[in-house]
A = this chain, B = another copy of it.
Amino acid sequence: MVQISVIGAGSVVFTGRLVVDLCLTKGLYGSEIVLMDIDKERLDMMYSLAARYAQETNANFTFKKTLDIKEALDDADFVINTVKIGGYKDMESEREVATKHGYYGGVGERVSDYYGGIGAYCQLKFFLDLARDVEDICPNAWLIQAANPVFEGVNLMTRETKAKVVGVCHGHYGYREVVKTLDLNGREVDVRMIGFNHNIWLTRFTYNGEDAYPIFDKWIEKRSEEYWKSEKYLKSLPWEVEQMSPAAIDMYNIFGLLPIGDTVRSASPWWYHLNLETKQKWFGPTGGFDSEIGWKMYLNSLKEMLEGLNLWANNPTIPLTKVYPPTFSGEQHIPFIEAIANNKETVLQLNVPNKGTIFGIPDDVIVEVPTLVDKSGIRAMQVGSLPRRIMVHNMIPRMLKMEQVLQAFLEGDRKGLLLMTAEDHRTRSFEDAKSVIEAILGQYWNSEAAKYYK
């Protein structure tokens, strides 16, 4: 069978899900799973949990662990990258510095700077090094990019290396929340979402073969107000309810198609994100996933998950299948691997070079679209066009931000970083932009970036 190397295996939650999916995928039994991380303690824990889970589910895998990335890549057929360099702590302090300078929630907000500090430096540097290592060590392997920023990252890696990179995300499942809230029978629903990662639009939405947007319109008219007063909306975790928030509905009114998943947050206009108050108006009482409240909830959920894993790792008598039930997570990494490894044709929502798939986007830019995957690789489906209003007020502007991030990164261009912030809607003077950029680059966390961006 194949060798699957998980880079950043200590990224606990994520890897946990992968292990469950893997153990349920009989078609991959016999494979070797190499777990790699730089944190020995977490790696050991993940390794023992993974082996235990396989044992409990009678899944036949060989597990290996290593602290060395090159060793992990050796002989790999699939490389899954889930790395978040430096974790989230320093990123939080970066956001505080920015907020003090008048940039609530951070500069580059809602795009890539969440992920890897200013200009996404730490993440992009790691991604590029990894893709180059893949190119050298296992040039035929598929590099499955799960770590954010997926959009910037996959564009960078596919342009700068010959590694076979594919971006994978679960954000498009946001449509299921639409289906559920509208009380539709999911089996009769057909959807298509296209765009960029964290920036996708529902271009097809049918129910029993007929356009389902009118059902949605009716929900807005008759039931949305009531929904926004419901326990469900007011008490759920932010990432569970953003999909049907006033933000999503307002974006639908503005753009004419429903934004799906992270799009509601990441691609929404600046005036939803002025401060906690406006965020609460648009995204509910938590202010959404990326507000100070929502993000803290997310970090807490990660912490609790880690504590749980630690507890279970130290109590070998607890059946892991009790805490992690053996059901597919819905993540696409393992189905992608099985589709390729076993030539099992599968429809997956993936991030791949456009090559004419979405009209008006350059061929080499990475788009997120439905694809058919089998042994021969990935074939994007014909998805047609997005409405011009969305193209010129959402897609091309988002693409431009990606190009700006990559220009600054590839050229080590501090002026590029500065111009991005200067064009930020909140910037009141060029001097303000300079001073926030220098303040952020002056942090410990960004010391390498500060040297790099000249």
Which residues in B have their C-beta under 8 angstroms from that of A429?
271
Query: What's the nearest-Cβ distance from chain B to residue A111, in Å?
Result: 14
- Knowing A271-B429, A422-B269 are in contact, say whether A393-B389 is a contact too (CB < 8 A): no
Query: What's the nearest-Cβ distance from chain B to residue A370, in Å?
Result: 25
Which residues in B have their C-beta under 8 angstroms from that of A397?
400, 423
Contact A396 B391 (CB under 8 A): no
Name the residue in A404, A411, A429 with the highest tally of chain B Cβ atoms < 10 Å from its Cβ. Answer: A404
Among B393, B400, B411, the residue within 8 A (CB) of A388 is: B411
Query: Considering only CB atoms and an 8 Å cut-off, how many residues of chain A contact the other chain?
Result: 28
Chain A, interface SS category: helix
A74: CB under 8 A from chain B?
Answer: no
A191: CB under 8 A from chain B?
Answer: no
Which residues in B have their C-beta under 8 angstroms from that of A422?
269, 271
A415: CB under 8 A from chain B?
Answer: yes
A381: CB under 8 A from chain B?
Answer: no
- Knowing A271-B430, A411-B388, A425-B425 are in contact, say whether A419-B393 is a contact too (CB < 8 A): yes
**Apart from the given pairs A389-B411, A425-B425, 15 other A-B contacts in the complex at a CB distance below 8 Å:** A254-B415, A254-B419, A269-B430, A271-B422, A362-B362, A389-B407, A389-B413, A389-B416, A391-B407, A392-B400, A392-B403, A393-B416, A393-B419, A393-B420, A400-B400
Please give the residue numbers on chain A whose beta carbons come within 8 Å of chain B beta carbons, in ascending order. 254, 269, 271, 362, 388-389, 391-393, 396-397, 400, 403-404, 407, 410-411, 413, 415-416, 419-420, 422-423, 425, 427, 429-430
